[in-house]
Amino acid sequence: MSYPYELKPLSYAYDALEPFISKTTMELHHDKHLNTYVTNLNFALQDDESLQSKNLEDILSDLENISSPNAVAIRNNGGGVFNHNHYFEALAPQNSTKPSEFILQALTASFGSYDAFVETFTKAALGQFGSGWAWLVGNSAGKLSVVSTPNQDTPLKDNLTPILNIDVWEHAYYVDYQNRRPDYVTNYFNIINWNIVEQRLRDYYAKLTCLFCN
Ligand code: MN3
């Protein structure tokens, strides 16, 4: 993804995640919230040709070196675009995918078991005070872990590879769950697109392997 950024369409219908996430939530979340981040990111980058030529992940991995007067807007809206695309892409209708043996082995190697991963991820999602995200990430040594980030921050700036993320801003669940974030997080595990998770894990491991290619 690079400038000018566009609103990436969902790969499923707005009502495909019901009853866990409603059509109304998806319409607002994708067409309004994400669209605003896209618009504001393009605006923040409009006079910066050097950042326009970089892809979004590279910008977010190197925030400290942004000299633009719009650095804060780039961080917040760039994170908003990246985080939401990452989140929406890895959702799917209930029972349409399941964790493969490959995924289960990867999670077991780092967390002890799939259930322990779910518990750790849930704890991070519930423990994030206010708005933010919980993430499954991989580090440069091949170890998976769970982290959370406030607002629209990403793990990219910490040299971590995002594998899976859940949006715990209230706009992600308030229409459907009001204040019941725990119910939203529990139900989220019914609508993860495990095929995308597997693809991201394989890309992550391939990148790690390549550090030693030479
Ligand atoms: Mn959101």
Domains in the chain (CATH in brackets) are: 23-89 (1.10.287.990), 101-210 (3.55.40.20)
Are 158 and 135 in contact by the 8 Å Cβ rule? The answer is no
How many angstroms is it from 25 CA to the middle of ligand 1?
Answer: 10
| Per-residue model confidence (pLDDT) at position 212 | 62
Distance in Å, CA 101 to ligand 1 centroid: 30
Integer distance in angstroms from the first to the last C-alpha of the chain? Answer: 28
Burial class (CB in 10 A: 0-12, 13-18, 19+), 184: buried
CA 110 to chain centre: 20
The segments of the chain whose pLDDT lies below 70 read 211-214
Distance 190 CA to ligand 1 centre (A): 19
pLDDT of 173: 98
Compute, in angstroms, the gap from residue 140 CA to the centroid of ligand 1.
27
Task: State in Å: Cα 48 to ligand 1 middle.
Answer: 26
- Per the CB < 8 A criterion, the answer to whether 64 and 86 are in contact is no
- The contacts found for 167-171 with CB under 8 angstroms, 24 or more apart, are 167/29, 167/83, 167/84, 167/87, 167/133, 168/125, 168/126, 168/128, 168/131, 168/132, 168/133, 168/134, 169/131, 169/132, 170/131, 171/28, 171/29, 171/33
Residue 214 has what pLDDT?
53
> Can you give the pLDDT at residue 57?
97
What integer pLDDT is reported at residue 60 of this predicted model?
98
What are the start-end ranges of the E strands in the chain?
A: 132-138, 144-150, 161-167
CA separation for the pair 183, 140 (Å, rounded): 33
What per-residue confidence (pLDDT) applies to 188?
98
Distance of CA 46 to the CA centre of its chain: 25
Which residues, in sequence order, are CB contacts of 14 under 8 Å at separation 6+?
Answer: 23, 26, 27, 30
pTM exceeding the 0.85 threshold for the entire prediction: yes
Query: Within 13 A of 14's CA, how many CA atoms are on the CB side?
Result: 9
How remote is the CA of residue 209 from the centroid of ligand 1, in Å? 33
Q: Does residue 204 contact residue 141 with C-beta atoms inside 8 Å?
A: no
CA of 87 to the centre of ligand 1 (A): 9
Cα of 33 vs centre of ligand 1, distance in Å, is 7
Residue 22 C-alpha to ligand 1 middle, in angstroms?
A: 14
Question: Of 18, 152, 162, whose CA–CA distance to 91 is shortest?
Answer: 18
For residues 149, 153, 157 and 158, what is the CA-based torsion angle, rounded to 10 degrees?
0
Whole-number Å distance, alpha carbon 51 to ligand 1 midpoint, is: 24
- State in Å: Cα 214 to ligand 1 middle: 40
Distance 88 CA to ligand 1 centre (A): 9
CB neighbourhood size of 57 (10 A) = 16
> Which pLDDT value is given to residue 209?
77
Q: How far is the CA of 136 from the centre of ligand 1 (A)?
A: 17
What distance in angstroms lies between residue 133's CA and the mean position of ligand 1's atoms?
9
Tell me, in angstroms, the distance from the centre of ligand 1 to residue 84's CA.
6
